[in-house]
Amino acid sequence: MKTVMKLAMPTQGGDKKRLMARIPASELVGRWQDEYSIDVAPYFRDVETVNVLECKDSGIVHFEPRVIGDEALYHALERHDWYYVEDKWEHRLSLHSVRSGARVLEVGCGRGAFLVRAKELGACVAGIELNNASASAASERGIDIAQCDVKAAPKEWLRSFDLVAAFQVVEHVPEPLDFCESLFSLVKPGGALHVAVPNRESFLQYTDTLLDLPPHHASRWNTHALTYLGNKIGAREIRVVRGPLEPIHVDLFLEISRRRLGRLIMNRISVPMARAALNAGARHFISGHSLVGIYRR
Protein backbone atom coordinates (compact mmCIF):
# COMPACT_ATOMS: atom_id res chain seq x y z
CA MET A 1 0.00 0.00 0.00
CA LYS A 2 1.15 3.51 -0.66
CA THR A 3 1.17 6.16 2.03
CA VAL A 4 -1.29 8.98 1.47
CA MET A 5 -0.84 12.58 2.49
CA LYS A 6 -1.79 13.48 6.06
CA LEU A 7 -2.72 17.09 6.77
CA ALA A 8 -2.66 18.48 10.27
CA MET A 9 -5.80 20.58 10.62
CA PRO A 10 -8.93 19.56 8.72
CA THR A 11 -11.70 22.14 8.48
CA GLN A 12 -14.89 20.49 9.72
CA GLY A 13 -17.08 23.52 10.32
CA GLY A 14 -15.50 25.51 13.12
CA ASP A 15 -12.45 26.12 15.32
CA LYS A 16 -13.99 25.04 18.66
CA LYS A 17 -12.98 21.44 19.14
CA ARG A 18 -13.37 18.97 21.99
CA LEU A 19 -10.87 16.17 22.43
CA MET A 20 -12.83 12.93 22.82
CA ALA A 21 -10.07 10.32 22.73
CA ARG A 22 -6.49 9.56 21.77
CA ILE A 23 -5.80 6.31 19.93
CA PRO A 24 -2.24 4.96 19.57
CA ALA A 25 -1.49 4.37 15.88
CA SER A 26 0.13 1.06 16.83
CA GLU A 27 -3.20 -0.09 18.27
CA LEU A 28 -5.00 0.65 15.01
CA VAL A 29 -2.32 -1.09 12.96
CA GLY A 30 -2.51 -4.16 15.17
CA ARG A 31 -6.29 -4.35 15.08
CA TRP A 32 -6.47 -4.03 11.29
CA GLN A 33 -3.99 -6.89 10.99
CA ASP A 34 -5.75 -9.08 13.56
CA GLU A 35 -9.34 -8.48 12.43
CA TYR A 36 -9.00 -8.12 8.65
CA SER A 37 -5.46 -9.29 7.83
CA ILE A 38 -4.81 -5.89 6.25
CA ASP A 39 -1.49 -4.09 6.73
CA VAL A 40 -2.29 -0.41 7.28
CA ALA A 41 1.11 0.48 8.78
CA PRO A 42 2.21 2.50 5.70
CA TYR A 43 -0.75 4.85 6.20
CA PHE A 44 0.42 5.66 9.72
CA ARG A 45 4.06 6.34 8.93
CA ASP A 46 5.28 9.17 11.19
CA VAL A 47 1.97 9.08 13.12
CA GLU A 48 2.12 8.04 16.78
CA THR A 49 -1.35 9.05 17.98
CA VAL A 50 -4.69 9.75 16.32
CA ASN A 51 -6.83 12.33 18.12
CA VAL A 52 -10.63 12.00 17.99
CA LEU A 53 -12.09 15.51 17.95
CA GLU A 54 -15.61 16.92 17.89
CA CYS A 55 -16.37 20.29 16.34
CA LYS A 56 -18.63 22.03 18.86
CA ASP A 57 -20.30 24.10 16.13
CA SER A 58 -21.07 21.43 13.54
CA GLY A 59 -21.20 18.30 15.68
CA ILE A 60 -18.93 16.53 13.19
CA VAL A 61 -16.39 14.17 14.77
CA HIS A 62 -13.11 13.86 12.90
CA PHE A 63 -9.61 12.51 13.32
CA GLU A 64 -6.28 14.36 13.45
CA PRO A 65 -4.00 13.87 11.71
CA ARG A 66 -6.09 12.79 8.77
CA VAL A 67 -5.13 9.32 7.62
CA ILE A 68 -7.06 8.45 4.46
CA GLY A 69 -7.17 5.05 2.80
CA ASP A 70 -6.57 4.55 -0.92
CA GLU A 71 -7.79 2.07 -3.52
CA ALA A 72 -5.62 -0.71 -2.09
CA LEU A 73 -7.49 -0.59 1.23
CA TYR A 74 -10.90 -0.80 -0.44
CA HIS A 75 -9.73 -3.58 -2.72
CA ALA A 76 -8.71 -5.58 0.35
CA LEU A 77 -12.08 -4.97 2.00
CA GLU A 78 -13.96 -6.00 -1.15
CA ARG A 79 -12.96 -9.59 -0.43
CA HIS A 80 -15.73 -9.60 2.17
CA ASP A 81 -19.22 -10.13 0.73
CA TRP A 82 -20.79 -7.77 3.26
CA TYR A 83 -18.70 -4.77 2.21
CA TYR A 84 -20.79 -3.90 -0.86
CA VAL A 85 -24.50 -4.43 -0.21
CA GLU A 86 -26.57 -3.80 -3.34
CA ASP A 87 -29.97 -3.30 -1.68
CA LYS A 88 -29.74 -0.45 0.84
CA TRP A 89 -32.43 1.46 2.69
CA GLU A 90 -31.00 4.79 1.52
CA HIS A 91 -31.22 3.59 -2.10
CA ARG A 92 -34.89 2.75 -1.66
CA LEU A 93 -35.55 6.12 -0.01
CA SER A 94 -33.90 8.10 -2.80
CA LEU A 95 -35.55 6.10 -5.56
CA HIS A 96 -38.88 7.55 -4.42
CA SER A 97 -37.58 10.90 -5.75
CA VAL A 98 -36.65 9.57 -9.20
CA ARG A 99 -38.99 10.34 -12.07
CA SER A 100 -38.85 9.29 -15.71
CA GLY A 101 -36.62 11.68 -17.64
CA ALA A 102 -34.88 12.99 -14.50
CA ARG A 103 -31.11 13.51 -14.59
CA VAL A 104 -29.49 11.55 -11.75
CA LEU A 105 -25.84 11.54 -10.68
CA GLU A 106 -24.34 9.34 -7.99
CA VAL A 107 -20.90 10.27 -6.68
CA GLY A 108 -19.01 7.27 -5.36
CA CYS A 109 -21.40 4.99 -7.20
CA GLY A 110 -19.45 1.78 -6.62
CA ARG A 111 -20.69 -0.95 -8.93
CA GLY A 112 -23.73 1.06 -9.94
CA ALA A 113 -26.55 -0.73 -8.08
CA PHE A 114 -28.52 2.45 -7.33
CA LEU A 115 -28.06 3.88 -10.81
CA VAL A 116 -29.22 0.66 -12.45
CA ARG A 117 -32.49 0.88 -10.52
CA ALA A 118 -32.85 4.61 -11.28
CA LYS A 119 -32.30 3.86 -14.97
CA GLU A 120 -35.05 1.23 -14.83
CA LEU A 121 -37.38 4.01 -13.61
CA GLY A 122 -36.59 6.01 -16.75
CA ALA A 123 -33.93 8.35 -15.39
CA CYS A 124 -30.91 9.55 -17.35
CA VAL A 125 -28.06 8.45 -15.09
CA ALA A 126 -24.34 9.03 -14.65
CA GLY A 127 -21.82 8.13 -11.98
CA ILE A 128 -18.50 9.22 -10.58
CA GLU A 129 -16.29 6.43 -9.20
CA LEU A 130 -12.54 6.53 -8.55
CA ASN A 131 -12.07 2.85 -7.74
CA ASN A 132 -10.98 1.20 -10.99
CA ALA A 133 -12.56 -2.20 -10.35
CA SER A 134 -15.88 -0.71 -9.26
CA ALA A 135 -15.92 1.75 -12.16
CA SER A 136 -15.39 -1.11 -14.60
CA ALA A 137 -18.17 -3.16 -13.00
CA ALA A 138 -20.57 -0.20 -13.24
CA SER A 139 -19.65 0.40 -16.89
CA GLU A 140 -20.36 -3.23 -17.69
CA ARG A 141 -23.88 -2.67 -16.31
CA GLY A 142 -24.47 0.13 -18.82
CA ILE A 143 -23.72 3.11 -16.57
CA ASP A 144 -21.79 6.11 -17.91
CA ILE A 145 -18.90 6.54 -15.47
CA ALA A 146 -16.53 9.48 -14.98
CA GLN A 147 -13.34 8.77 -13.03
CA CYS A 148 -12.57 12.23 -11.74
CA ASP A 149 -12.69 14.29 -8.57
CA VAL A 150 -16.11 15.91 -8.18
CA LYS A 151 -14.43 19.33 -8.40
CA ALA A 152 -13.17 18.34 -11.85
CA ALA A 153 -16.62 17.33 -13.11
CA PRO A 154 -17.51 18.59 -16.62
CA LYS A 155 -18.61 22.22 -16.64
CA GLU A 156 -21.85 21.32 -18.37
CA TRP A 157 -22.79 19.32 -15.24
CA LEU A 158 -23.03 22.46 -13.09
CA ARG A 159 -26.63 22.97 -11.86
CA SER A 160 -27.86 20.33 -14.29
CA PHE A 161 -29.02 17.34 -12.19
CA ASP A 162 -32.42 16.76 -10.65
CA LEU A 163 -30.83 14.47 -8.07
CA VAL A 164 -27.24 14.15 -6.90
CA ALA A 165 -26.60 11.35 -4.42
CA ALA A 166 -23.64 10.27 -2.30
CA PHE A 167 -24.30 7.14 -0.26
CA GLN A 168 -21.78 6.29 2.49
CA VAL A 169 -19.11 8.44 0.84
CA VAL A 170 -18.87 11.69 2.81
CA GLU A 171 -17.45 9.98 5.91
CA HIS A 172 -14.46 8.81 3.82
CA VAL A 173 -13.32 12.17 2.43
CA PRO A 174 -10.86 14.49 4.21
CA GLU A 175 -12.83 17.72 3.66
CA PRO A 176 -16.53 16.78 3.82
CA LEU A 177 -17.95 20.32 3.83
CA ASP A 178 -16.00 21.34 0.74
CA PHE A 179 -16.89 18.03 -0.88
CA CYS A 180 -20.61 18.56 -0.28
CA GLU A 181 -20.47 22.13 -1.57
CA SER A 182 -19.07 20.68 -4.80
CA LEU A 183 -21.86 18.10 -4.88
CA PHE A 184 -24.50 20.78 -4.36
CA SER A 185 -23.07 22.86 -7.21
CA LEU A 186 -24.23 20.12 -9.60
CA VAL A 187 -27.87 20.30 -8.43
CA LYS A 188 -30.19 22.35 -10.61
CA PRO A 189 -32.75 24.77 -9.11
CA GLY A 190 -35.57 22.73 -7.65
CA GLY A 191 -33.37 19.63 -7.51
CA ALA A 192 -31.94 17.90 -4.46
CA LEU A 193 -28.77 16.47 -2.97
CA HIS A 194 -29.08 13.26 -0.92
CA VAL A 195 -26.22 12.46 1.46
CA ALA A 196 -26.24 9.17 3.38
CA VAL A 197 -23.85 8.60 6.29
CA PRO A 198 -23.58 6.18 9.22
CA ASN A 199 -25.77 7.33 12.11
CA ARG A 200 -23.69 7.80 15.26
CA GLU A 201 -26.91 8.30 17.26
CA SER A 202 -27.93 4.70 16.53
CA PHE A 203 -26.55 1.45 17.95
CA LEU A 204 -23.28 2.37 16.23
CA GLN A 205 -22.41 4.62 19.17
CA TYR A 206 -21.94 1.48 21.27
CA THR A 207 -19.60 -0.22 18.81
CA ASP A 208 -15.87 0.05 18.38
CA THR A 209 -15.72 -1.17 14.81
CA LEU A 210 -12.54 -0.57 12.86
CA LEU A 211 -14.60 0.46 9.86
CA ASP A 212 -15.50 3.66 11.74
CA LEU A 213 -11.84 4.51 12.33
CA PRO A 214 -8.88 5.61 10.16
CA PRO A 215 -7.80 4.87 7.54
CA HIS A 216 -11.35 3.82 6.54
CA HIS A 217 -13.45 6.67 7.96
CA ALA A 218 -12.38 10.28 8.31
CA SER A 219 -15.47 11.64 10.11
CA ARG A 220 -18.60 10.70 12.07
CA TRP A 221 -22.06 12.19 11.70
CA ASN A 222 -25.35 12.72 13.51
CA THR A 223 -28.59 14.61 12.86
CA HIS A 224 -27.19 17.95 14.04
CA ALA A 225 -24.12 17.58 11.80
CA LEU A 226 -26.24 16.89 8.71
CA THR A 227 -28.46 19.88 9.50
CA TYR A 228 -25.35 22.04 9.89
CA LEU A 229 -24.14 20.76 6.53
CA GLY A 230 -27.36 21.83 4.82
CA ASN A 231 -27.06 25.35 6.20
CA LYS A 232 -23.40 25.49 5.24
CA ILE A 233 -24.02 24.64 1.58
CA GLY A 234 -26.98 27.05 1.35
CA ALA A 235 -29.82 24.58 0.89
CA ARG A 236 -33.31 26.10 0.58
CA GLU A 237 -34.88 23.11 2.33
CA ILE A 238 -33.23 20.68 4.75
CA ARG A 239 -34.59 17.33 5.92
CA VAL A 240 -32.80 14.58 7.83
CA VAL A 241 -34.29 11.07 7.70
CA ARG A 242 -33.30 8.26 10.06
CA GLY A 243 -33.15 4.77 8.58
CA PRO A 244 -34.56 1.74 10.41
CA LEU A 245 -32.56 -1.17 11.74
CA GLU A 246 -31.79 -3.30 8.69
CA PRO A 247 -32.10 -7.12 8.76
CA ILE A 248 -28.35 -7.48 8.26
CA HIS A 249 -27.75 -5.64 11.57
CA VAL A 250 -30.34 -7.40 13.77
CA ASP A 251 -27.85 -9.84 15.30
CA LEU A 252 -25.30 -7.07 15.94
CA PHE A 253 -28.01 -4.98 17.63
CA LEU A 254 -28.94 -7.94 19.85
CA GLU A 255 -25.30 -8.57 20.78
CA ILE A 256 -24.86 -4.91 21.75
CA SER A 257 -28.09 -5.07 23.76
CA ARG A 258 -26.84 -8.19 25.56
CA ARG A 259 -23.59 -6.45 26.51
CA ARG A 260 -25.40 -3.36 27.78
CA LEU A 261 -28.33 -5.03 29.55
CA GLY A 262 -26.65 -8.19 30.79
CA ARG A 263 -27.50 -11.86 30.52
CA LEU A 264 -30.28 -11.70 33.12
CA ILE A 265 -32.36 -9.70 30.60
CA MET A 266 -30.84 -10.83 27.29
CA ASN A 267 -30.70 -14.59 27.70
CA ARG A 268 -31.34 -17.75 25.68
CA ILE A 269 -35.09 -17.25 26.04
CA SER A 270 -35.44 -13.50 25.51
CA VAL A 271 -32.90 -13.13 22.66
CA PRO A 272 -34.73 -15.47 20.21
CA MET A 273 -38.00 -13.76 21.10
CA ALA A 274 -36.46 -10.35 20.48
CA ARG A 275 -34.93 -11.52 17.19
CA ALA A 276 -38.29 -12.84 16.00
CA ALA A 277 -40.03 -9.57 16.95
CA LEU A 278 -37.41 -7.46 15.18
CA ASN A 279 -37.55 -9.55 12.01
CA ALA A 280 -41.35 -9.43 12.10
CA GLY A 281 -41.29 -5.63 11.87
CA ALA A 282 -40.27 -4.17 15.23
CA ARG A 283 -36.89 -3.20 13.74
CA HIS A 284 -38.64 -0.36 11.89
CA PHE A 285 -39.06 1.42 15.24
CA ILE A 286 -35.31 1.34 15.98
CA SER A 287 -32.78 3.74 14.46
CA GLY A 288 -30.50 1.85 12.14
CA HIS A 289 -27.14 2.28 10.49
CA SER A 290 -27.92 5.19 8.18
CA LEU A 291 -28.96 8.83 8.14
CA VAL A 292 -29.87 10.70 4.98
CA GLY A 293 -29.64 14.46 4.63
CA ILE A 294 -31.92 15.79 1.88
CA TYR A 295 -30.99 19.26 0.62
CA ARG A 296 -33.08 21.09 -1.94
CA ARG A 297 -31.77 23.98 -4.02
DSSP string, 58-108: T--EEEES-----HHHHHHHTTSTTSS-SS-HHHHHHHTT--TT-EEEEET
User: Distance (Å, rounded) from C-alpha 222 to C-alpha 18?
Assistant: 16
Reported as type and span, the H/E element at residue 96 is: none
Cβ atoms of 250 and 278 within 8 Å: the answer is yes
Q: Is the pLDDT of residue 8 over 70?
A: no
CB atoms within 10 A of CB 179: 21
Per-residue model confidence (pLDDT) at position 12: 52
Q: Is the pLDDT of residue 4 over 70?
A: no
Position 9 confidence tier, pLDDT thresholds 50, 70, 90: very low
Position 165 confidence tier, pLDDT thresholds 50, 70, 90: very high
Q: Is the pLDDT of residue 109 over 80?
A: yes
Per-residue model confidence (pLDDT) at position 81: 82
User: Distance (Å, rounded) from C-alpha 181 to C-alpha 241?
Assistant: 20
**What are 245-286's pLDDT values in tens digits?**
999 999 999 999 999 999 889 999 999 999 999 999 999 999
**What are 222-251's pLDDT values in tens digits?**
999 999 999 999 999 999 999 999 999 999
